[in-house]
Every structure is written in structure tokens, then in C-alpha cells.
């Protein structure tokens, strides 16, 4: 049984033809971002947390092979 899959460009063309879905997606994305931004403004150390998370992510990605084999 052979399966075929569409690449991202093909799938995005299909997605973008459904205007109601595109509008829903856009509104939902902005709602989530606004909610995150509002929460972030209430946490004084937000930028420090983001920087630490970024460093952790960089470390994990740089050492993933070692972490997986340990």
C-alpha cells in the first residue's frame, strides 16, 4: 500500500482557500497571543524566564545526542 502526502506548500494552498477557517485561525492566534502578553505583563521576571528557557533549549539541542545516549 503506497501512501502519498502533500508538502507544506500544497497543504497551505488548500487551507487558504477556506476563508472562514483562515479567519478563525487568525482570530484564535491573536487571542492566544494577547492572553499570553497580558499574563506576561503581570510577571516582573518574564524576560529573565524567557532568556533562561532559551538557554536551556539551546543547551538541550546542542547536547541532544549525549542526553539521548546517557
The per-residue pLDDT for range 28-67, each reduced to its tens digit, is 999 999 999 999 999 999 999 999 999 999 999 999 999 9
- Taking residue 30's Cβ as centre, other Cβ atoms within 10 Å add up to 10
- Segment (H or E) for 56: helix 46-62
Residue 68 has pLDDT above 70, yes or no: yes
Number of separate domains in the chain: 1
Domain of 59? 17-69
Q: Give CA–CA dist 19/27, Å, rounded.
A: 12
**Residue 31 in domain:** yes
User: Model pTM greater than 0.95?
Assistant: no
- Segment (H or E) for 51: helix 46-62
Q: What is the pLDDT of residues 3-24, one digit of tens each?
A: 778 899 999 999 999 999 999 9
Residue 70 has a pLDDT of: 76
Q: Give CA–CA dist 64/60, Å, rounded.
A: 5
Q: Give CA–CA dist 65/63, Å, rounded.
A: 6
**Residue 50 in domain:** yes
Amino acid at each position: 500500500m503506497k501512501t502519498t502526502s502533500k508538502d507544506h506548500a500544497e497543504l497551505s494552498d488548500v487551507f487558504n482557500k477556506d476563508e472562514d477557517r483562515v479567519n478563525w485561525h487568525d482570530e484564535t492566534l491573536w487571542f492566544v497571543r494577547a492572553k499570553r502578553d497580558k499574563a506576561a505583563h503581570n510577571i516582573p521576571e518574564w524576560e529573565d524566564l524567557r532568556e533562561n528557557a532559551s538557554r536551556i533549549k539551546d543547551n538541550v539541542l546542542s547536547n541532544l545526542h549525549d542526553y539521548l545516549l546517557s
